[in-house]
Structure 1
């Protein structure tokens, strides 16, 4: 068996080293690309879609699956995302950066820069294009690494993918008023963008562009008083509004609120969204509003709603540890068995950002401590974009749109 493994490794190495042979050397004729053995097999789970963010840039968020076909370890040393047309690097990850983005089997918490024999992993990628930069038509991935069975450093280009650049759904406000924090939003906060699930025989990432909306009081607190009482959270009971016209294709209204402070245990996957409303907005896009207050859902399956219609109230039902509105868009009516799609809001104002990051946000939610904010002066008026993670968003119309001098 050891002889067979060695023979296989030697044959792969010979093919890898001989992959650049010319047509004259191989006797091949015609335009077809010559076959080349690669130690990694790669594909993109879903073609990246362009999403404009409140930082003024276009962003691409997607997943690259890598499978090691060798009998031993393959160590990745560099991964570059290239413009498929020009070859220009758009993102370059060194070994340390790869080790923060490559998850074995797609499981969060299993990050590594190496793939063992016959292992596969998912690289969660985020490309931020320079302000005003041309959107590439395609992307290709260049991988450098060391194949342990072959005792050889290798470089390969794999997984060319189209980039989808087309108009996105434009939404109205999901909530009223000001002081809302866009929690766990795009593009590097891992709770949503890496919520890859193996469902119904395939990988699904419905929450790729999800936002958990919470609200601050005038002292920048998410909660005051008893942390176990849902009523003490600033956002609890706030009216939830339909963000677009559409038809209600899913709803639930009977699940209780969870006690805040920890995610519930042994929750059935069918109850993960808690009380919810799903709206079919057309063109293959569906909006999920999740974790609603029990008894607050105002619509039923088959109802038509228009933008701004109250559809429920913010609660803490389902897989939730603090009251919030979870909102995402997907390509099917099920909140989990779907592919997440980008969207933008028509207009909003960013008054501040939680510059101290996710850890500070988590502490504010868990303890009632004030959130550390960096104020924007003047406030940033944003149109047709998605707010970046931990932006503080005001939904009232800007002065210029309210007719106020």
Structure 2
């Protein structure tokens, strides 16, 4: 007797697999709808769990039909024959339903998402959500359809944004990321705001001894803010540096920017991060990177402890779809957006509606006086 369990996207798919692996006379013992995948219970896929058995089950049932258990099992087989007939009808009707057009008005906005390099899976998810909310899209104006798309994107961002930028209970904030993404400048912005607006005692720590310019840049900011700075080139030195900075309420550590493709770099970062017992790690990514490259960085670095993501060079990009792809595919909430070189003003808390508008091409005000004023008061 051979019994197998299948997890499939559709019941006709299950029938095809069962016939291939268990034979034409195989029987289905049980089917049920399940949810798989997703992030924190969100974006889960609907799938089916199907239990099937080879013809040997039938033969066994006939041989031992004297028992109540097998009588019940033969009854199950009869019911499943009816289920199989229903599935065949379902399979005939499934294709026309999937081919239902979404309308020219929606397609225009979906084309905008494609231009913004939102990946295909995310676009199809948005399309499905909107059609589910309003099947009669052609009765709406083009603007109304666009507002629905923007609202759907905003909701996706809301689920992928950190509730707070920096955890006040954590005294060690570490910025991770490849070279050139702006970690040092971002640390200066965050530290400055904690000193100037939160009146906290801040310390700076750099482990980026590979770039002398990075150390000197951070030392310059430390002198301007009148805060202590320590330089560490090993996990042991990080521990010693933290002891010297123990009077600080919040320590910002600038990690080394290296080639993220090097396995040695990842191993060094794991060792470095293990030296701080209570910390919050922000992965810094540049919006000038293509989504393909950004995804590769995340995949390489997900062996590290990543708590949040900071997106830099937001002002230098005209393509923002990578941010949406990021929150859809990965469980790392976005904490901050960096919008320029100004310290400390050109940084803001990640804001769902603002990010959605940038993707839709609605809000092009980044860098204006009104925008800067809102950013400064953000946190």
| Band the TM-score falls in, shorter-chain normalisation | under 0.3
Instruction: Give the structure with the higher percent strand.
Output: 1
Larger Rg: 2
TM-score normalised by structure 1 residue count: 0.24
TM-score normalised by structure 2 residue count: 0.25
